[in-house]
Amino acid sequence: MNLKIALLPGDGIGPEVSAQAVKCLQAVADTFGHQFKFTEAIVGAKAIDKTGNPLPDATLQLCKDSDAVLFGAIGDPKYDNDPNAKIRPEQGLLKLRKELGLFCNIRPVKVFPSLIDKSPLKKKNIRGTDFVIYRELIGGIYFGEKNLSKDGTVASDLCTYSEAEISRIAHLAFKEAKTRKKKLTLVDKANVLESSRLWRKVVSKIGESYPEITLEFLFIDNAAMQLILNPSQFDVILTGNMFGDILSDEGSAIGGSIGLLPSASVGENNALFEPIHGSYPLAKDKDIANPIASILSAAMLLDHFNLDEESRAVVIAVLKSMKNEIVTPDLDKNSKYGTNYVGDFISGNIKESDEHLTINRENIW
Ligand code: IPM
Ligand code: MG
């Protein structure tokens, strides 16, 4: 298969971790006889510094012209600490998601057996955790009208959702549940928010055409608690933009490190793959950032193009690194292995073998 991949390493640790994902995709291409052509472009704080724009037109155009986007991370403390900044790195990612129509953000959360001891939670509570968050990505409070009063003392962000926006992601979430444990939990705040009540109405109606799926509803506050108390109860979680953002960071703590969680953002015509973590500026250029979230995002990219065996090869190589304790210091504070070494180990282990074929996808990722 020939794939044109736009590579947007972004800020902070983004370049280091996405370089490891590229190594792995290159290993897949070499092993399985594919051609992946990477073209790099700037985004985020780096792009602001160079052009004044967090998403330059050339970057957007490249993404539109590519089969997929591999994204690193975005954000820089110099903007985080300046509430008056008019231009912010994050605007680049938000605009990119919107322009590419990436309405569905998929974030799998799984506890890896060999890392179960790394979790801050009790083993007995988290064993068997395997759920996926379907987060609406281009609507809601993130994209509603924003206002700041002239005197700067009152601000608002509007949360709007339409039936069409809810139903397109709901269908994808129900379809995903059909291939899994057949349970879908809609997370909202329908006891307070009108927009959440619309989500309930639309999702309930759609649920009638998926009779084999058990549909449950949970308020966000309760969901945040349940995720910590009993995460293995979940299968597919469907939710809006903001709640999905918060729950996915919370979900990452279950497995022991935010450096493990990948994501895919898909729309009608485009797809983008990125770790759920941020730019982690404190770790930048220290060779300590965990590349696994980025590498597993590359595995999701392969999955997206139905390259199942290739995706499995990546996941198996990741599992091997964990079993052999070839992990970065976030997972083992005494680890002597850095971002690059872990990336080399994983990419070096991606090779065609019977192992890839005999392992059932459900058991590994
Ligand atoms: C994420 C991030 C982004 C978001 C930021 C960087 C804009 O936190 O992908 O979860 O809030 O969506
Ligand atoms: Mg987030």
Q: What tens digit of pLDDT does each residue of 280-328 get?
A: 999 999 999 999 999 999 999 999 999 999 999 999 999 999 999 999 9
151: Cβ contacts below 8 Å, ≥ 6 apart: none
Does the CB atom of residue 292 touch ligand 1 within 6 A?
no
Mean pLDDT of 257-273: 96
Q: Which of 211, 231, 254 is the last residue of a domain?
A: 254
> In terms of domains, do 173 and 215 share one?
yes
> In terms of domains, do 153 and 184 share one?
yes
Does the CB atom of residue 76 touch ligand 1 within 6 A?
no
Q: Which of 220, 254, 288 is the last residue of a domain?
A: 254
Structural domain contains residue 224: yes
Confidence of residue 219 (pLDDT cuts 50, 70, 90): very high
On the 0-12 / 13-18 / 19+ scale of CB atoms within 10 A, 279 is buried
Specify the CATH number for the domain of residue 288: 3.40.718.10
Does residue 189 have an active-site annotation?
yes
Local structure of 365: helix, strand or coil: coil
**Taking 70 as the threshold, does the pLDDT of residue 203 lie above it?**
yes
284: Cβ contacts below 8 Å, ≥ 6 apart: 12, 13, 16
Asked if 302 and 341 touch (Cβ cutoff 8 Å), the reply is: no
The single residue listed with the structure tokens 């002239």 is 150
Q: Which of 199, 228, 254 is the last residue of a domain?
A: 254
**Taking 60 as the threshold, does the pLDDT of residue 166 lie above it?**
yes
**Taking 90 as the threshold, does the pLDDT of residue 361 lie above it?**
no
Structural domain contains residue 115: no
Helix residue ranges per DSSP H, 122-267: 123-126, 163-178, 194-207, 220-229, 241-254
Residue 245 belongs to domain spanning: 120-254
pLDDT attached to residue 355: 56
Mean pLDDT of 155-177: 98
Among 324, 335, 330, 323, residue whose Cα is nearest residue 364: 323
Local structure of 157: helix, strand or coil: strand
Structural domain contains residue 281: yes
* Residue of 80, 94, 279 to test ligand 1 pocket, by largest number of atoms within 8 Å of CB: 94
CA distance between the termini of the chain:
23
Does the CB atom of residue 16 touch ligand 1 within 6 A?
no
pLDDT attached to residue 85: 86
Number of domains in the chain: 2
pTM as predicted: 0.94
Structural domain contains residue 282: yes
Structural domain contains residue 3: yes
Q: Percentage of the chain surpassing pLDDT 70? A: 96
78-100: burial string, b at 16+ Cβ within 10 Å, e else: ebeeeeeeeebbbbbbbebbbbb
Q: Ligand 1: which atom is nearest the Cα of residue 97?
A: 12
- How many Å apart are CA 63 and CA 78, to the nearest integer? 27
Cα 273 to the center of its chain, rounded Å: 7
Q: Ligand 1: which atom is nearest the Cα of residue 93?
A: 7
